[in-house]
Amino acid sequence: MSGRKRIVINPVTRLSGFLELDVTVEDNAVADAKTKGVMFRGFEQMMVGRSPFDAIYLTQRICGICSTAHSVASSTALEDALGVEVTEQGRYIRDIIHCCEFLQNHLRHFYQYTLPDFVKMPPEYPLFTSDNNDYRIPKEINDSLADHYFESLNYSRLAHQMLAVLGGKAPHNHGVFVGGFTTPPDAEKIIHIKSILDKISNFIENKMIPDTYTVAKYYPELFHLGGGPGNLMSYGAFNNYKELGTLYTDPLVYINRKTEAFDSKYIEEKIHYSWYKGNETSRPFDEIQAPDMDKEDAYTFVKAPRYKGVPMEVGPLARLWLSGEYRNGISAMDRTIARSLEAKKIAVIMKVLIDQIIPGTHVQKRWQVPEKAQGAGLVETTRGALGHWVKIENNLISFYQIITPSAWDFSASDESSKGTAELALMHTPLKDVENPVELGRILRSFDPCMSCATHVYRPGKEVKSIKVF
């Protein structure tokens, strides 16, 4: 078949976890695209039978780059189930810890994961050698951005240091818990994180944001590529504080070019193209479908989360769009710009929250687990909307459901639509099909976390092999 070619990229490097991209190219443009998660551990099943408190620590192990997100969602779900009303001090400090992770993550995603798609890194190190022949930034500017790759390492690790000051260590913190946080900070800890935050804020404003616009200047076609479904969603980020109100964005969705209030009742997961059998569509608290890897049409273990039946984009661009602060467009480059602008926004929010801390406020109690309960924790995290749903029976976890941001952005197709990133890839013109650099640039604009998206596996019939081609 002339003019038709299949491209399989696995591994897609510079992301967290494992992703396979399978595209068909026709006349130098993407005619079909599938994103596939290729690792399975089964965290939801792992939670069953454990002490509810252990979920806060164990679900963090889903993901090394965004572990705090899971501790925040998990503790929020448990508060709902245990009937614990978290205090404002509890929320402030938990959210500050979470802000540290946003900063760590955005810095690393931009400099370590995204930048090498556009900036030629020093080729004397094998980590950086590549066949990418589409580096356009003039040498002097290129080399200064490459220097910032290394300079940024100091700031991302300082972001994790702030997290550790409040949370014990990072990755996988000990400081987020039912009630918000565990150990109250004193003035020394508060000024420790304040002084680091000051340094990180300067780096974001003086280097990261200008660097992002430099990349945008030399790769302007990415403002027209990687659009996706154009539906955006946020569960609400740094919002609804009793005294501070909303510092970022309320729970909102943007569908058919209209903004409306978010309602969790419209969340469902579909499985037509995923390796599961059972109801084609289910709600988060429903019974969970069994796997069926023999299904003819299925190609991934990532399910297809939908809101009002359509795929949604989640993450920094969705949040900035919904809060009305950035409406330039929905594209791969807008996504990358939004991430850097959001880093600045998070630093500002964090500063506001730090100023609310009353040192030495003890929020911990001897929490009582009810015999039977259920709860949901829907929170905004680095990559977007994250939900944990927990049921408790006989004082132990009896059911756990997790829908991650990357499950939204890297969802499978359903009977009427492709997944979000798949849509973003469709019709992308490729300059050189032998070296399709556009594909990685679009995928990484979503900041994929496949450790998170493919945490799920349900026991069932085994298959002899998985047909990859």
Partner 1 sequence: MKKLDIVLPPESVTNEAIAQRLYQAVTSGLESGHVKRKKLVWLELNGCSGNIISLLNGFQPDFEYAITQMVDIVYSNSMMVEDGEKAINRLFELAEGDEDFILGIEGAVALKNEGMYHLVGNRNGQPVTGLQAAKMLGEKASSVIAIGACAVDGGPSAARPNLSQSVGLQTVLDNREIIKLPGCPVHPDWFLGTLAHLLLYGQPELDQQQRPKMFYSDLLHDRCPRRPYFDKGVFSETLGEPYCLFKLGCRGPVTRIDCPTRQWNGHVNWPIGASTCIGCAQSGFPDRMAPFISYNTTRE
Stretch 104-123 residues interacting with partner 1 (CB under 8 A): 108, 112-113, 116, 121
Site for partner 1 contains 156 (CB under 8 A): yes
Site for partner 1 contains 138 (CB under 8 A): no
The structure tokens listed for 281 are 């569509």
Site for partner 1 contains 144 (CB under 8 A): no
Of the candidates 94, 106, 160, 441, which one interacts with partner 1 according to CB under 8 A?
160
How far is Cα 325 from Cα 45, in angstroms, rounded to an integer?
A: 40
- Closest to 303 (Cα-Cα) out of 277, 269, 280: 269
Range in contact with partner 1 (rule: CB under 8 A) among 26-34, 49-57, 205-213, 306-314: 49-57
Q: How far is the CB of 69 from partner 1 (least distance, A)?
A: 12
The structure tokens listed for 236 are 């609400």
How far is Cα 316 from Cα 341, in angstroms, rounded to an integer?
A: 9
Range in contact with partner 1 (rule: CB under 8 A) among 150-158, 234-242, 376-384, 410-418: 150-158
Q: How far is the CB of 449 from partner 1 (least distance, A)?
A: 9
Site for partner 1 contains 38 (CB under 8 A): yes
Of the candidates 141, 153, 244, 352, which one interacts with partner 1 according to CB under 8 A?
153
Of the candidates 31, 39, 190, 426, which one interacts with partner 1 according to CB under 8 A?
39
Q: Which amino acid is it at 177?
A: F
Compute the C-alpha angle 20/170/15, nearest 5°. 15
Of 67 and 417, nearer to partner 1 (C-beta) is 67
Q: How far is the CB of 297 from partner 1 (least distance, A)?
A: 19
What strands lie across the sheet with 252-255, from one edge to the other? 232-234, 252-255, 258-261
Site for partner 1 contains 167 (CB under 8 A): yes
Site for partner 1 contains 130 (CB under 8 A): yes
Site for partner 1 contains 338 (CB under 8 A): no
Of the candidates 4, 24, 29, 42, which one interacts with partner 1 according to CB under 8 A?
42
Site for partner 1 contains 169 (CB under 8 A): yes
**Residues within window 347-366 making contact with partner 1, judged by CB under 8 A:** 362-366
Q: How far is the CB of 304 from partner 1 (least distance, A)?
A: 21
Q: Is 152 helix (H, G, I), strand (E, B) or coil?
A: helix
Q: Give the E-state strand segments of 299-371 in sequence order.
A: 304-307
Q: Is 391 helix (H, G, I), strand (E, B) or coil?
A: strand
Q: Which residues of 171-209 are buried (b: 16+ CB within 10 A; e: fewer)?
A: bbbbbbbbbbbbbbbeeebbebbeebbeebbebbeebbb
- Tell me the DSSP string of 61-78: GG-SSSHHHHHHHHHHHH
C-alpha pair distances (Å), 211 with each of 34, 142, 180, 203, 208: 31, 10, 35, 11, 5
Of 290 and 416, nearer to partner 1 (C-beta) is 290
**Residues within window 173-212 making contact with partner 1, judged by CB under 8 A:** 173-175, 177, 181-184, 192
Site for partner 1 contains 266 (CB under 8 A): no
Site for partner 1 contains 216 (CB under 8 A): no
How far is Cα 102 from Cα 162, in angstroms, rounded to an integer?
A: 12
Q: Which amino acid is it at 344?
A: K
Site for partner 1 contains 457 (CB under 8 A): yes
Cβ within 8 Å of residue 85, ≥6 positions away? 79
Of the candidates 5, 32, 53, 286, which one interacts with partner 1 according to CB under 8 A?
53
| Burial classification of residue 274, based on how many CB atoms lie within 10 Å of its CB (0-12 exposed, 13-18 middle, 19 or more buried) | buried
C-alpha pair distances (Å), 115 with each of 152, 177, 264, 270: 11, 35, 36, 34
- Closest to 399 (Cα-Cα) out of 388, 387, 385, 411: 388
Site for partner 1 contains 20 (CB under 8 A): yes
**Residues within window 292-331 making contact with partner 1, judged by CB under 8 A:** none
Q: How far is the CB of 13 from partner 1 (least distance, A)?
A: 4
Of the candidates 29, 150, 324, 432, which one interacts with partner 1 according to CB under 8 A?
150
Site for partner 1 contains 126 (CB under 8 A): yes
Q: Is 99 helix (H, G, I), strand (E, B) or coil?
A: helix
Site for partner 1 contains 405 (CB under 8 A): no
Range in contact with partner 1 (rule: CB under 8 A) among 17-25, 76-84, 208-216, 268-276: 17-25
Half-sphere CA count of 334, side-chain side, radius 13 A: 22
Q: How far is the CB of 127 from partner 1 (least distance, A)?
A: 5
Of the candidates 18, 102, 235, 321, which one interacts with partner 1 according to CB under 8 A?
18
Of 247 and 363, nearer to partner 1 (C-beta) is 363
C-alpha pair distances (Å), 298 with each of 40, 85, 103, 332, 454: 16, 42, 36, 27, 15
Of the candidates 331, 440, 447, 453, which one interacts with partner 1 according to CB under 8 A?
440
Q: How many residues bind partner 1 (CB under 8 A)?
A: 91
Contact between residue 368 and residue 81 where contact means Cβ atoms under 8 Å apart: no
Of the candidates 5, 28, 31, 54, which one interacts with partner 1 according to CB under 8 A?
54
Site for partner 1 contains 137 (CB under 8 A): no
The structure tokens listed for 76 are 């929020």
